[in-house]
Every structure is written in structure tokens, then in C-alpha cells.
């Protein structure tokens, strides 16, 4: 499974992981200010579709980035599964606000990855990614895409953002 149990990884480390099948919604060319709404809608869509199909996720939510973000972001939002989906999940009913999001099969890749746990608010993830990237390059590793974040701690309105844990995965050649 590409989202190994363990951690937190308070210092960057290199792990060998297996690929993991996933159910996701994909989005391309998303503006940065639209991401919070997309995250909410995307995870709701995948959760509802998996529940309707009786296919529970086997780990926390993640976001996978197939290209380096720039002015816009391409990403997959979803959950890991035990077995791959056979095609997409049934379309969502018309009166549901998730109708524009199709749930499709995908995967988290396996292989060697640099991993690091960010403890704190989401708005500090950029600094955590810079730290992990600099560490991996400083160790002589060549980085590859895609990279992903696993949201180990599910946020709630009343929680302290300082207690959030997000594991960062950076594939290596």
C-alpha cells in the first residue's frame, strides 16, 4: 500500500512503498482560490460514491499532483482502496451538488519515495514541501512526478490547526 502506516515522519526519510488503488475525482487548471471548495466537494463526492457502492476507503484522504503547480493546479482528490475500481462509479443524481465530479479509478504509485510529516496548518504546507524537496535533492536523489499529500488528521471546525498532520510523499528515481 502506498500510504504506509506509521510515522509521523518528523525528519525526512526514504521508504519503499507499493502502489495503491484509489477512487478519485480529477480536476485540471484549478485556480488557487477555488481549491478549498473543490477539496470539500471532491471528498464528499468520493465518500458518497464509495458508500453507495459498499467500497469503504482503507486510509485517509489524499491529494495527488500530476504536475508541478503553477498559476493553476491539476490534482486528484480521493481515498485509497483495497482493490481497484472496475470503471467509474455510477453518476450522482441531478439534485446533488456533486454532479460535476465523476469518481474514477486511479492509483498512488509505488517505488522509492521521500516522506515527511508536516504538523500544523495547511497554509504552511508550501514550506514543508520546500524542506522535503531540498532534503531529497541534497541527498543526491532525482525527483519525479506525481507527488501527493495524505491528510492523516481529519480537520474539524473546532480543532486547533496546529494539531493537523499531513504526510508528504515525493517519488524518487
94-152 pLDDT, tens digit per residue, is 344 445 689 999 999 999 999 999 999 999 999 999 999 999 999 999 999 999 999 99
Shared domain for 119 and 162, answered yes or no, is yes
Which of 58, 75, 107 is a domain's end point? 107
**Whose CA is closest to 113, among 20, 19, 17?**
17
Query: What would the 3-class secondary structure string for 29-75 be?
Result: EEEHHHHHHHHHHHHHHHHHHHHHHCCCCCCCCEEEECCCCCCEEEE
SS3 assignment, position 123:
helix
Same domain flag for 90 and 122: no
Looking at the fold, whether 96 and 154 belong to one and the same domain comes out as no
Q: Are 91 and 37 found together in one domain?
A: yes
- Confidence (pTM): 0.89
Together in a domain, 79 and 28 = yes
Per the structure, the count of domains in the chain is 2
Instruction: Tell me, yes or no, whether 13 and 64 share the same domain.
Output: no
Tell me, yes or no, whether 26 and 41 share the same domain. yes
CATH code for the domain in which residue 27 is found: 3.20.80.10
Of 56, 82, 107, at which residue does a domain stop? 107
Residues 26 and 8 in one domain: no
Location of C-alpha cell 469503504: 56
Question: What pLDDT is stored for residue 1 in this prediction?
Answer: 52
State which residues form the domain around 65.
Answer: 20-107
What band does 46 get if pLDDT is binned at 50, 70 and 90?
A: very high
pLDDT at 59 over 80: yes
Q: So what's the pLDDT on residue 86? A: 74
Amino acid at each position: 500500500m502506498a500510504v504506509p502506516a506509521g510515522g509521523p515522519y518528523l525528519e525526512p526519510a526514504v521508504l519503499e512503498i507499493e502502489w495503491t488503488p484509489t477512487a478519485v475525482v480529477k480536476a485540471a487548471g484549478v485556480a488557487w482560490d477555488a481549491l478549498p471548495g473543490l477539496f470539500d466537494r471532491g471528498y464528499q463526492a468520493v465518500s458518497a460514491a464509495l458508500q453507495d457502492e459498499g467500497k469503504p476507503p482503507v486510509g485517509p484522504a489524499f491529494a495527488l499532483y500530476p504536475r508541478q503547480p503553477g498559476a493553476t493546479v491539476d490534482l486528484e482528490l480521493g481515498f485509497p482502496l483495497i482493490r481497484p475500481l472496475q470503471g467509474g462509479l455510477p453518476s450522482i443524481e441531478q439534485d446533488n451538488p456533486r454532479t460535476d465530479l465523476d469518481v474514477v479509478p486511479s492509483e498512488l504509485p509505488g517505488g522509492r519515495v521521500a516522506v515527511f510529516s508536516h504538523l500544523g496548518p495547511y497554509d504552511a504546507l508550501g514550506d514543508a514541501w520546500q524542506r522535503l524537496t531540498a532534503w531529497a535533492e541534497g541527498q543526491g536523489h532525482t525527483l519525479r512526478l506525481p507527488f501527493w499529500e495524505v491528510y492523516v488528521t481529519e480537520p474539524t471546525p473546532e480543532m486547533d490547526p496546529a494539531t493537523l498532520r499531513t504526510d508528504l510523499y515525493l517519488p524518487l528515481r
